[in-house]
Amino acid sequence: MQIIKKKSRLLILLSGLLLVACNDMQQSKPAKPSAEKYTASTVLLTGKVQGTSQIVEALDDATQNVIVSTQVQEKGRYQLEIPAQTKLPIVLRSDEFISVVIDSDVTNYDINSLTTTIAASAKALGGYTRKNIVSAASDSVNTPDANKTSTGWRGDTTSQYGGWH
**Would you say residue 1 lies in a domain?**
no
Residue 48, pLDDT above cutoff 50: yes
Q: What is the pTM of this model?
A: 0.65
Confidence of residue 33 (pLDDT cuts 50, 70, 90): very low
| Burial class of residue 121 (count of CB atoms within 10 Å of its CB; 0-12, 13-18, 19+) | middle
Instruction: Return the higher-pLDDT residue of 18 and 111.
Output: 111
pLDDT, average across residues 117-139:
93
High-pLDDT (> 70) share of the chain, %: 64
Instruction: Find the domain containing 51 and state its range.
Output: 43-111
- 36 within some domain: no
Report d(CA 97, CA 117) in Å as an integer. 9
- Tell whether the model's pLDDT for residue 165 goes beyond 50: no
Q: Could you give the residue ranges of the DSSP H alpha helices within 27-100?
A: none
In a domain, 121, yes or no: no
37 burial (CB, 10 Å; 0-12 / 13-18 / 19+) is: middle
Confidence of residue 36 (pLDDT cuts 50, 70, 90): low
Tell me, yes or no, whether 47 lies in a domain: yes
75 in a domain, yes or no?
Answer: yes
pLDDT of the residue at 159: 56
Is 96 among the domain residues?
Answer: yes
Identify the CATH number of the domain in which residue 56 sits.
2.60.40.3390
pLDDT tens string 50-96 = 999 999 999 999 999 999 999 999 999 999 999 999 999 999 999 99
pLDDT tens for each residue of 131-141 = 999 999 988 77
Q: Please report whether residue 78 resides in a domain.
A: yes
% of the chain with per-residue pLDDT over 90: 54
In this structure, which long-range contacts are made by residues 39-43, counting pairs with CB atoms below 8 Å and at least 24 apart in sequence? 39/82, 39/83, 39/84, 39/85, 39/86, 39/88, 39/104, 40/84, 40/85, 40/104, 41/84, 42/81, 42/82, 42/83, 42/84, 43/81, 43/82, 43/86, 43/104, 43/107
- Residue 107 · residue 98 · CB < 8 Å: no
Q: What is the pLDDT of residue 46?
A: 94
Q: Write the DSSP string, 100-135.
A: EE--TT--B--BSHHHHHHHHHHHHTTSS-HHHHHH
Which has more pLDDT, 154 or 31? 154
Residue at 55 is within a domain: yes
SS3 state of residue 75: helix
pLDDT-derived band at 37, boundaries 50, 70, 90 = confident
Number of domains in the chain: 1
